Homo-oligomer: A and B are copies of this chain.
């Protein structure tokens, strides 16, 4: 099920004990970590990533807990089963949120799950949190979401209240994914973004598109204010006859 990100190259981190397909997936996740770290989306040790490394029985290869995502090494990934028990790997324990990854891949045809933690996803999840979600529509960027063919698409992004009780939070995720079967992502309030994709490449694209949209929505108000505040000054400029342009 996994496809490769075409040109990602991570030198010298091949892992002898892993099957080739999983080693390749891990190699790509290391590179994804560097990319998201450079964009400031996984500061501290925030964020976590997984790929489906088996479907029957279910196996997820997931980042261990408490690591800088810009400096991952192949031995910092663990393979877990659908109860989040470690079946392969010795590097600490799986991310506390592994249960959410399992929930997602059970309910969606996902080969990879990515969780990022940017400033704008945090802010928008907070300010729109009491609405339990937000609609995003009218942006061309929406077309990068799997199956979306027009900017007129209306994407609903559920926002769930954050919770340290993982079984309870997993149940909220299950409910949100069931209630909104078309959604491509959800936000945890003041916590960040979860998205997924059929392939890791699809999931990376979804992260970048959704982070873009959340930043656009978050900044839109600043520009709206600008319009109100600066209309007189700009109007003066625009009042010059446009005939000279024609």
Contact = CB atoms under 8 A, between A and B. Distances in A.
Given A44-B208, A139-B190, A226-B127, A7 B246 contact: no
Interface stretch (A15-23, A50-58, A82-90, A148-156): A148-156
Given A71-B8, A140-B190, A208-B44, A229 B238 contact: no
Nearest to A67: B6
B135 A240 contact: yes
Query: How big is chain A's contact interface, by range?
Result: 35 or more
B119 A205 contact: no
A229 B225 contact: yes
Interface in A200-246: 201, 204-206, 208-209, 211-212, 215-216, 218-230, 233-234, 237-238, 240, 242, 244-246
A208 B7 contact: no
A144 to B, nearest CB: 4
Interface centre among A124, A140, A228 (most CB of B within 10 A): A140
Contacts of A152: 164
A15 to B, nearest CB: 14
B183 A223 contact: no
A223 B219 CA distance: 7
Contact of A39 (B40, B141, B238): B40
What is the copy number of this chain in the assembly?
4
Contacts of A68: 5-6, 201, 204-205
A99 interface: no
Interface string A109-121: 0000000010100
A212 to B, nearest CB: 5
A180 B245 contact: yes
Contacts of A76: 6
Contacts of A131: 238
A219 B140 contact: no
Contact of A208 (B43, B72, B149, B154): B43
A73 B222 contact: no
